[in-house]
Amino acid sequence: MKREIRLTTTHPTAQEMLTFDPATLVVMNYSPYAVLVRRGVAALPARDSYDYIVPAGASATFAAVGREFGFVLDYEVAGPAVYSQPATVVFLSKDETPPVFSTSVYREAVRIEDSGDNDYYIDTRGARAIYIEYNQNPPFPKPQNIINMNYSGVKIIGIARIGGDETTLYNMSNPYNTAISRVVLPLADNLIKIQVRSSANPYVVKYTLLDTIPAPIHQFIMNRHTWESDAWVVGVP
C-alpha cells in the first residue's frame, strides 16, 4: 500500500497529487453516503461531474490513471447519523495484488441514552431496512394509588430532507415495567426521525441499519394495563 486516505463527514473531501504511479485505486465505502471520484486531475468531483461513483455500503477496485485524483463524500443532509464508519481510499502499486470484494455489508449499530423530548435524525441512504428498539430505563415501578400515567410517545418518521414533508411510518408502543418496543421497517426515505415526546424517565434508543430486508418475524405485542388505586386491571393484548 502506497497511500491511504479516509473520508468522513468532518473531512469529506480530498485532493491527491501523488509522487508515484499507482496501478490500482481501491475504495472501501462503509459509510452511509456515496463516494464520488475524479481521476487525472486534482479537482473535486460533483454530482454532475465525476468519473466513478461508489455507492454507500459498497467497495470497488479501479485501474488507476495518472497521479492526480479528487474525492468527495456525497452528503448534504443536515444532521448526519450519530455514528458511521468512514470511507477508505487506498492506492496500490503494480507489485501489490488488489483485493477482490464480495457483496459488501453495511451496518450501523447505535445506542443512545437520553431523557426528555428529543428528535434523532438517522441518515439511511444505502440501507434497505432499520431495526429500532426503545426502552425506558429504569422501568416504571408498580404504581400506587395512581389513576393516570403519561407514558412517552415515540414516532418513527420518514423524511427526504431536514424541514421537508414528514410521513409517520410507525407509532411505537409506550413501554413500562420491563417492556421494550421493537420494530423493523423497510426504508424508502433519505432520513428517519425518531421523535420522543412526554418522557419523564431516562430511556434508551437503539437502532441498526440493515443491508437487506429481513423476513417477517413474530412480534410480541405488549399488554396495556390500567389501574385504579392499588388494583391492576389487565387488558387484552
pTM score of the predicted model? 0.52
Among candidates 33, 16, 4, which has minimal Cα distance to 106?
A: 33
Which residues contact residue 226 at a Cβ distance below 8 angstroms, ignoring those fewer than 6 apart? 233, 235
Q: Which domains does the chain have, with CATH numbers?
A: 3-92 (2.60.120), 108-213 (2.60.120.380)
Rounded to 5 degrees, φ, ψ at 82 are: -60, -40
C-alpha cell at 120: 434523532
Residue 225 has what pLDDT? 42
The C-alpha atoms of residue 94 and residue 186 are separated, in whole angstroms, by 43
Which residues contact residue 158 at a Cβ distance below 8 angstroms, ignoring those fewer than 6 apart? 166, 167, 169, 187, 188, 189, 191, 192, 193
Give the single-character DSSP code of 95. Answer: T
Q: What is the mean pLDDT of the chain?
A: 76
Q: pLDDT exceeding 70 applies to what percent of the chain? A: 72
- Indicate whether 149 pLDDT > 60: no
Residue 89 has what pLDDT? 93
Rounded to 5 degrees, φ, ψ at 217 are: -120, 150
Region 175-191: what's the mean pLDDT?
74
User: What burial class does residue 11 get, using C-beta atoms within 10 Å of its C-beta: 0-12 exposed, 13-18 middle, 19+ buried?
Assistant: exposed
